[in-house]
Amino acid sequence: MYEYEERDYPHFGKPEGEEGRSLLAEMNIQHRKLSEWALTTLPDIKCRKILDIGCGGGMLISLLASKYPEAEIFGVDISEESVAMTSKVNADLVKSGRCKISLDPVSKLPFAPGTFDLVTAFETYFFWPDLENDIAKAAATVAEGGCMIIVSELYPHPRFDERNDEAARLSGLRLQSNDEMVRMMRGCGLDVTVNEIEEKNWISFVGTR
């Protein structure tokens, strides 16, 4: 897990400036193994359109492009630095028209209901301002037969609570219990499975429609 420091707050939720760019570059490295594992928890689905919410430094979009070579990928973030870095990291995809990156919040996604076969939210849900409504906004864009995956490198667990509480204090993130996450996703009409690597405190919630 990334080592949180006082200097990073509030950059995690919205990376800005030189410090934000440095943080995004570090996250691309730090979160790669988590992302690779989480993608293995997805069901076998055919993806024509993918939405990555909170695209950060763009590493996940690169992985998605490799896993689903025929898919058109959209990335959104509330940080201008994230949009710029994701566009740079995936410059070839953007140039070809296969990838589109925009500055949009999860609460105001500019997409019609049922647009995407896969919606991803890695290391971002704990900064969403109105979690239950924002999950509903994201889930609404999932097509019939598609799925949404929410991933985190930390979740409430007695073994990690002290560390996670400190991370929350320094970065401003807000964790939810696994049961609460499942409840909110099921409330959007998704069939939810939970995947964990308990010794690492990693988790993925996969909701299929």
Which residues share a beta bridge with 197?
202
Residue 55, token pair as written in the block: 């695209």
The domain total for the chain is: 1
> In this model, does residue 26 exceed pLDDT 80?
yes
122 in Cβ contact with 137 (< 8 Å): no
Reference 192, options 157, 147, 154; nearest CA is 147
The residue segments making up the domain with residue 107 are 6-208
| Entry pTM | 0.93
Condensed to tens digits (0 to 9), the pLDDT of residues 111-157 reads: 999 999 999 999 999 999 999 999 999 999 999 999 999 999 999 99
Does 33 have pLDDT greater than 80?
A: yes
Is residue 1 assigned to a domain?
no
What is the C-alpha separation between 139 and 114, in angstroms, rounded? 9
Amino acid identity, position 183: R
Task: Please determine, for residue 4, whether its predicted confidence score (pLDDT) is greater than 50.
Answer: no
DSSP 8-state assignment for residue 122:
E
Taking the C-alpha atoms of residue 164 and residue 200, their distance in angstroms, rounded to an integer, is 12
CA distances (Å), origin 110, targets 79, 115, 133, 188 = 16, 10, 15, 19
C-alpha distance from residue 115 to each of 50, 57, 139, 146, 199 (Å):
9, 24, 10, 10, 36
Q: Is residue 201 part of a domain?
A: yes
Question: Residue 167: inside a domain, yes or no?
Answer: yes
In a domain, 185, yes or no: yes
> Helices (DSSP H) in 45-116: which residue ranges?
59-67, 80-89, 91-96
Question: What is the CATH number for 147?
Answer: 3.40.50.150
